[in-house]
Homo-oligomer: A and B are copies of this chain.
Amino acid sequence: MKVNKNLPTPLYHQVKDYLEEKIILGEWEPGFQLPTEKELSAQFQVSTITVKRAIHDLVNKGILYRQRGKGTFVSRKEDKDIYQLVSLRNEAEEDKHHPHKSLSFKEEEAGVKIGKMLNINAAEKVYKIHRLKIEEETPVGIEYTYIPCSLFPGLTEKVIEDDLFYNVFTNKYGMNLGKAKIFFSTITAEDYEADLLNIPKGEQLFVLERFTYTEEQQIIEYSRFIIRQEKSRYFIEIRL
Contacts and interface: CB of A to CB of B under 8 A. Distances in A.
Contact of A184 (B86, B178, B184, B188): B184
A68 B204 CA distance: 22
Interface in A138-197: 166, 177-188, 190
Given A57-B190, A190-B57, A112 B237 contact: no
B61 A187 contact: yes
B185 A229 contact: yes
* Count of chain copies: 2
A60 interface: yes
A231 to B, nearest CB: 12
A188 B21 contact: no
Contacts of A240: 86, 166, 177-180, 212
Interface of A: 17, 20-21, 24-25, 57, 60-62, 79, 82-83, 86, 112-113, 116, 166, 177-188, 190, 204, 206, 212, 229, 233-240
B183 A234 contact: yes
Given A24-B113, A190-B57, A235 B181 contact: yes
A237 B179 contact: yes
B238 A182 contact: yes
A235 B179 contact: no
B235 A182 contact: yes
Contacts of A190: 57, 60
20 contacts: A17-B113, A24-B116, A60-B187, A60-B190, A82-B236, A179-B237, A179-B238, A180-B237, A180-B238, A180-B240, A181-B236, A181-B238, A182-B235, A184-B184, A184-B233, A184-B235, A185-B233, A186-B186, A186-B229, A236-B236
